[in-house]
């Protein structure tokens, strides 16, 4: 039996306790002026239906709730065409595009999505269609082109080849826009890159199409990496993979690479100086208090743990329960360089029994991320989810501010 390990495929079922992120408003990344149609059993899309109301997207999301009889008889594909006909009849203004989402069961039904999309294009020629798979069940066989990458990449499938390119920069792989946050936008503007574009900022289908007009693209997380490759191939953009990191040297190196990409020299020394000062303040404030990093806080929790340990924080543990990004190398580095840091990879019945055996007394620890905060009942915590809103030196400063506040007992 092989247990879950960071960056490796899990081979057997493993019980998992669910830590609720219900209080967090989750962004629903979507194509503007489009309609989403979920094609699945009743229960599978419940969270999307409720989230649509929470996100002000009611009326832009519909559902074809399959019956078992239709699935067994194979007639569900006919129902899909009927449902799309009803969406196009009833939704006003008529959507420019329809995004179809299928779920885990489709992996076993074997819907021919190419044939389906061809058929829909013939029947509804003025509407664009794209099909995405929300299938966590396939996490064992699609690690290198994971479901999240697939969903994210397909959101850009409807972009047309632009007539011309401008000096813009398109950011990929984020659910929350970082445009206007911190130094990155200023540095990009000073380097002559304008406008900055990303999907969360698109208000119209035209804005969306403009994502393809940029000359440059940056992927901010592993979610955007596959899309970046497609942008390079389809639109000839020059791209850079730049996942969130909290290592000041690495951030400086990334700015150097960014400068090389756009052909400009970039001076980020003032920003680095501010970030260094914020690190000094946070290390002083936190002192020897244990810090516990979880995999909900960062796409690369081992990298984050290594960065924090190198800054001088007393990193006690990494709760690597759901590692999303590629972080195997940092996991190896962590175990080699910081063997004192405990790595927790399970959230089964331990979630009810507590983690005292593995982690000892955590009552004074600062938990970074909702998993660690919840499972350890931490009194001091840092609210951070998949690095969203944290990028470059600004990301370091923001995290340090949160750690400083958590050290004095504020929920940060």
Partner 1 sequence: MSRFSLFLPPFAGDYSGVCSVLFDVDCLVVILDAGCCTRNYAEYDEPRWERKRKATFSAQIRTMDAIMGDEEGIIAEVLEAASALEPSCIAVVGTPVPAIVGTDVAGLAAEIEERSGIATLGFPTNGFDTYEKGVSKALSALAKRFAARVDSHAVQPCVNLLGSTPLDDAGFAQVAFVERELAARGVACAFSGAGRYGLADIAQMASASASVAVSWGGLAAARHLERAFGVPCVAGLPLTTRQLDAVAALAKDASARGLSGVSAAPCEAGVSDQGADEAPCVLLVGDQVMMNAVRALLHERAKALSEDGSVRGAGVAVASFFSMDRKLSASRDFALREDGDLLEYARRNPEVLIVGDPLLGELLSACENDFAPLVHPAVSSTLWADAAVPSDAAAWEAWADGVLARLTR
Q: Which positions lie near partner 1, rule CB under 8 A? A: 1, 10-18, 20-23, 38, 40-50, 52-54, 58-59, 62-71, 76, 79, 82-83, 86-87, 90-91, 103-105, 107-109, 134-141, 348-349, 351-353
Q: Which is nearer to partner 1, 45 or 372 (CB)?
A: 45
Query: Which residue in 203, 207, 206, 183 sits closest to 195, CA to CA?
Result: 207
Token pair in block for residue 232:
């390079």
What pairs with residue 171 in β-bridges?
198, 218
Q: Which is nearer to partner 1, 4 or 171 (CB)?
A: 4
Instruction: Provide the 8-state DSSP code for 10.
Output: -
> Minimum CB separation from partner 1 for residue 63, in Å?
4
Judging by beta carbons within 10 Å of its beta carbon (0-12, 13-18, 19+), is residue 289 exposed, middle or buried? middle
Q: Which is nearer to partner 1, 143 or 329 (CB)?
A: 143
> Minimum CB separation from partner 1 for residue 26, in Å?
10
DSSP string for 289-321: -EEEEETTT-SSHHHHHHHHHHHT-EEEEEE-S
Helix spans in 147-203 (H): 147-154, 182-190
Q: Which is nearer to partner 1, 40 or 211 (CB)?
A: 40
Q: Please, what is the end-to-end C-alpha distance for the chain in angstroms? A: 39
> Minimum CB separation from partner 1 for residue 55, in Å?
12
Judging by beta carbons within 10 Å of its beta carbon (0-12, 13-18, 19+), is residue 150 exposed, middle or buried? middle
Q: Which is nearer to partner 1, 15 or 337 (CB)?
A: 15
> Minimum CB separation from partner 1 for residue 343, in Å?
19
How far apart (Å, rounded) are the C-alpha atoms in residues 97 and 90? 14
> Minimum CB separation from partner 1 for residue 54, in Å?
7
How far apart (Å, rounded) are the C-alpha atoms in residues 266 and 224? 24
Query: Which residue in 310, 320, 407 sits closest to 365, CA to CA?
Result: 407
Q: Are 25 and 54 within 8 A, CB to CB?
A: yes
Q: Which is nearer to partner 1, 68 or 164 (CB)?
A: 68
> Minimum CB separation from partner 1 for residue 305, in Å?
24
Q: Which is nearer to partner 1, 73 or 115 (CB)?
A: 73
């Amino acid at each position: 039996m092989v247990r879950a390990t960071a960056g490796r495929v899990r081979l057997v079922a493993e019980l998992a306790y669910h830590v609720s992120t219900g209080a967090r408003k989750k962004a629903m990344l979507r194509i503007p002026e489009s309609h989403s149609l979920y094609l699945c059993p009743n229960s599978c899309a419940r969270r999307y239906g409720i989230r649509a109301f929470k996100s002000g997207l009611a009326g832009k999301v519909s559902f074809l709730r399959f019956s078992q009889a239709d699935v067994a008889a194979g007639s569900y594909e006919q129902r899909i065409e009927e449902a799309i006909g009803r969406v196009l009849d009833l939704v006003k203004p008529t959507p420019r595009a329809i995004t179809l989402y299928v779920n885990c069961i489709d992996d076993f039904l074997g819907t021919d999505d190419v044939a389906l999309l061809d058929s829909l294009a013939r029947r509804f020629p003025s509407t664009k269609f794209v099909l995405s798979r929300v299938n966590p069940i396939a996490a064992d066989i699609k690690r290198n082109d994971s479901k999240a990458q697939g969903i994210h990449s397909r959101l850009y499938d409807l972009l047309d080849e632009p007539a011309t390119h401008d000096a813009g920069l398109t950011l990929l792989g984020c659910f929350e826009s970082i445009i206007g946050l911190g130094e990155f936008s200023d540095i990009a503007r000073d380097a002559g890159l304008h406008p900055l574009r990303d999907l969360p900022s698109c208000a119209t289908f035209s804005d969306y199409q403009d994502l393809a007009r940029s000359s440059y693209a940056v992927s901010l997380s592993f979610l955007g990496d596959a899309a970046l490759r497609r942008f390079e191939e389809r639109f000839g953009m020059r791209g850079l993979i730049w996942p969130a990191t909290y290592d000041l040297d690495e951030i400086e190196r990334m700015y150097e690479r960014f400068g090389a990409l756009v052909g400009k020299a970039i001076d980020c020394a003032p920003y680095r100086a501010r970030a260094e000062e914020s690190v000094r303040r946070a290390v002083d404030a936190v002192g020897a208090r244990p810090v516990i990093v979880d995999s909900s806080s960062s796409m690369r929790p081992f990298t984050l743990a290594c960065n924090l340990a190198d800054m001088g924080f007393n990193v006690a543990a990494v709760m690597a329960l759901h590692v999303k990004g590629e972080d195997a190398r940092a996991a190896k580095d962590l175990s080699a360089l910081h063997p004192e840091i405990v790595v927790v990879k399970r959230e089964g019945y331990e979630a009810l029994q507590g983690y005292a055996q593995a982690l000892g007394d955590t009552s004074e620890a600062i938990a970074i991320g909702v998993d660690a905060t919840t499972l350890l009942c931490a009194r001091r915590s840092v609210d951070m989810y998949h690095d969203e809103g944290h990028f470059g030196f600004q990301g370091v400063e923001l995290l340090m501010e949160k750690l400083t506040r958590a050290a004095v007992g504020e929920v940060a």
